[in-house]
Amino acid sequence: MARPRQFDEQDAVVRATDLFWRRGYHATSVRDLGAELKLTPSSLYRTFTDKHTLFLRTLDHYRATESAQAEQRLDAAGRPVRQVLRDWMLWLVSCPSDGEAGRGCFVVNTATELGITDAQVRQRTEAAFEVTRQALRSLLEEGCHHGELPADLDTDAAVELLFTTVLGLRVRERAGHDPARLATTIDVAIQALGRQA
| Domain extents in the chain | 9-191
SS3 state at 9 = helix
- Report whether pLDDT(129) > 80: yes
Q: In this structure, are residues 161 and 189 in contact, taking their beta carbons and an 8 Å threshold?
A: yes
Chain center to CA of 8: 25
- Cα distances (Å, whole numbers) of residue 94 to 60, 156, 168, 169: 24, 27, 14, 10
| Contact call for residues 143 and 54 (beta carbons, < 8 A) | no
Cα–Cα dist 144/4, whole Å? 56
pLDDT of residue 149: 96
| Homologous superfamily of the 9-191 domain (CATH) | Tetracycline Repressor, domain 2 (1.10.357.10)
> What's the longest Cα–Cα distance across the chain?
70
Q: Look at 150 and 71; give whichever has higher pLDDT.
A: 150
Evaluate whether 108 touches 165 at the Cβ level (below 8 Å). no
User: Binning pLDDT at 50, 70 and 90, where does residue 5 land?
Assistant: low
Rounded CA separation 113/97 (Å): 21
**pTM greater than 0.75 (yes/no):** yes
Contacting residues for 104 by C-beta, under 8 A, at least 6 apart: 170, 171, 173, 174
- First-to-last alpha carbon distance for the chain, in angstroms, is 70
Q: pLDDT by residue (tens digit) across 15-27?
A: 999 999 999 999 9
